[in-house]
Amino acid sequence: RIKPEKVKFADERLKDNSYQSKGGPQNDYGDKAHRDLIVTRGAGFRKEKNKKKRGSYRGGEITMESHSIKFTD
């Protein structure tokens, strides 16, 4: 088993894996899709996700901003 107190993170941003923790604009395409899909659980998620992928979905601004984390190794 992994002991949580012995885990070392290479970057503090890796501790929180939620969508809101990434930062960035609050009106972009991903944020709107996140708000719509976070309440969906189980088999219904696939249906809702596929509905969003169709051309009629108007989410928000598509940004080219990167939220990647650079590692030295």
pLDDT tens digit sequence for 42-70: 888 898 888 877 776 676 777 787 778 88
- Domain encompassing residue 30: 26-54
pLDDT at 71: 83
Tell me the C-alpha distance between 46 and 65, whole Å: 26
Q: What is the pTM of this model?
A: 0.57
Per the structure, the count of domains in the chain is 1
In a domain, 65, yes or no: no
In a domain, 33, yes or no: yes
In a domain, 36, yes or no: yes
In a domain, 5, yes or no: no
pLDDT tens digit sequence for 5-31: 898 888 888 888 888 887 777 777 777
Chain mean position to CA 59: 15
- Residue 48's alpha-carbon distances to 18, 30, 52, in angstroms, are 20, 14, 6
Q: Would you tell me how many other CB atoms lie within 10 Å of the CB of residue 21?
A: 11
In a domain, 12, yes or no: no
